[in-house]
Amino acid sequence: MKLVINILLNAFAVIIASYVLPGVRVDGFLTAIVVAIVLGIVNFFIKPLLIILTLPVTILTLGLFLFVINALLILLVAQLVDGFQVNGFFWALLFSLVLSIVSTFLHSLANE
Protein backbone atom coordinates (compact mmCIF):
# COMPACT_ATOMS: atom_id res chain seq x y z
CA MET A 1 0.00 0.00 0.00
CA LYS A 2 2.87 2.33 0.81
CA LEU A 3 4.31 1.78 -2.69
CA VAL A 4 1.01 2.79 -4.30
CA ILE A 5 0.84 5.94 -2.16
CA ASN A 6 4.43 6.84 -3.10
CA ILE A 7 3.70 6.36 -6.80
CA LEU A 8 0.56 8.52 -6.57
CA LEU A 9 2.40 11.26 -4.68
CA ASN A 10 5.18 11.21 -7.26
CA ALA A 11 2.57 11.36 -10.04
CA PHE A 12 1.01 14.44 -8.39
CA ALA A 13 4.49 15.96 -8.18
CA VAL A 14 5.01 15.29 -11.90
CA ILE A 15 1.68 16.99 -12.72
CA ILE A 16 2.46 20.00 -10.52
CA ALA A 17 5.97 20.37 -11.95
CA SER A 18 4.60 20.20 -15.49
CA TYR A 19 2.10 22.98 -14.71
CA VAL A 20 4.85 25.18 -13.27
CA LEU A 21 7.29 24.70 -16.16
CA PRO A 22 6.16 25.61 -19.68
CA GLY A 23 8.87 23.45 -21.28
CA VAL A 24 7.44 20.24 -19.83
CA ARG A 25 4.18 18.63 -20.95
CA VAL A 26 2.28 15.71 -19.47
CA ASP A 27 -0.87 14.53 -21.27
CA GLY A 28 -2.78 13.43 -18.18
CA PHE A 29 -2.71 11.82 -14.78
CA LEU A 30 -2.32 8.31 -16.18
CA THR A 31 0.75 9.49 -18.07
CA ALA A 32 2.06 11.06 -14.86
CA ILE A 33 1.67 7.71 -13.09
CA VAL A 34 3.62 5.99 -15.87
CA VAL A 35 6.30 8.70 -15.67
CA ALA A 36 6.56 8.22 -11.90
CA ILE A 37 6.92 4.45 -12.29
CA VAL A 38 9.46 4.63 -15.13
CA LEU A 39 11.44 7.34 -13.34
CA GLY A 40 11.54 5.19 -10.22
CA ILE A 41 12.78 2.19 -12.20
CA VAL A 42 15.40 4.28 -14.02
CA ASN A 43 16.57 5.82 -10.75
CA PHE A 44 16.83 2.36 -9.18
CA PHE A 45 18.74 0.60 -11.95
CA ILE A 46 20.55 3.15 -14.13
CA LYS A 47 21.34 6.06 -11.80
CA PRO A 48 23.70 4.10 -9.48
CA LEU A 49 25.69 2.90 -12.50
CA LEU A 50 25.98 6.44 -13.85
CA ILE A 51 27.05 7.74 -10.45
CA ILE A 52 29.80 5.12 -10.20
CA LEU A 53 30.99 5.72 -13.78
CA THR A 54 31.08 9.51 -13.33
CA LEU A 55 32.47 9.54 -9.79
CA PRO A 56 35.66 11.45 -10.66
CA VAL A 57 33.68 14.21 -12.40
CA THR A 58 31.18 14.30 -9.55
CA ILE A 59 33.98 14.70 -7.02
CA LEU A 60 35.65 17.44 -9.09
CA THR A 61 32.38 19.37 -9.33
CA LEU A 62 31.61 18.81 -5.63
CA GLY A 63 28.48 16.83 -6.47
CA LEU A 64 26.99 19.29 -8.94
CA PHE A 65 27.34 16.77 -11.77
CA LEU A 66 24.54 14.79 -10.11
CA PHE A 67 22.16 17.48 -11.41
CA VAL A 68 23.36 16.70 -14.93
CA ILE A 69 22.76 12.98 -14.35
CA ASN A 70 19.23 13.71 -13.10
CA ALA A 71 18.48 15.87 -16.15
CA LEU A 72 19.78 13.18 -18.51
CA LEU A 73 17.59 10.58 -16.80
CA ILE A 74 14.56 12.88 -17.17
CA LEU A 75 15.32 13.16 -20.88
CA LEU A 76 15.60 9.36 -21.09
CA VAL A 77 12.19 8.96 -19.44
CA ALA A 78 10.75 11.53 -21.85
CA GLN A 79 11.98 9.36 -24.74
CA LEU A 80 10.50 6.20 -23.22
CA VAL A 81 7.05 7.48 -22.19
CA ASP A 82 4.54 8.67 -24.77
CA GLY A 83 2.67 11.76 -23.64
CA PHE A 84 5.59 13.12 -21.61
CA GLN A 85 7.62 15.78 -23.37
CA VAL A 86 10.59 17.82 -22.15
CA ASN A 87 11.87 20.57 -24.45
CA GLY A 88 15.60 20.23 -23.90
CA PHE A 89 18.26 19.83 -21.27
CA PHE A 90 17.56 23.11 -19.45
CA TRP A 91 13.89 22.20 -18.92
CA ALA A 92 14.89 18.70 -17.79
CA LEU A 93 17.26 20.23 -15.25
CA LEU A 94 14.57 22.60 -13.95
CA PHE A 95 12.01 19.79 -13.96
CA SER A 96 14.24 17.58 -11.82
CA LEU A 97 14.74 20.40 -9.31
CA VAL A 98 11.04 21.32 -9.12
CA LEU A 99 10.03 17.65 -9.01
CA SER A 100 12.39 17.04 -6.12
CA ILE A 101 11.07 20.02 -4.14
CA VAL A 102 7.38 19.26 -4.78
CA SER A 103 7.83 15.55 -4.14
CA THR A 104 9.60 16.21 -0.83
CA PHE A 105 6.81 18.58 0.21
CA LEU A 106 4.03 16.11 -0.71
CA HIS A 107 5.76 13.21 1.04
CA SER A 108 6.25 15.29 4.18
CA LEU A 109 2.53 16.13 4.18
CA ALA A 110 1.59 12.47 3.74
CA ASN A 111 3.80 11.28 6.61
CA GLU A 112 2.28 13.65 9.17
- The stretches in the chain having pLDDT less than 70 are 112
Environment class of residue 10 by beta-carbon count within 10 Å: exposed (0-12), middle (13-18) or buried (19+)? buried
- Amino acid identity for residue 108 in this structure: S
Report the chain's terminal Cα–Cα distance, integer Å.
17
Q: Quick one: what percent of the chain has pLDDT higher than 70?
A: 99
- Amino acid identity for residue 23 in this structure: G
- What pLDDT is recorded for position 19? 96
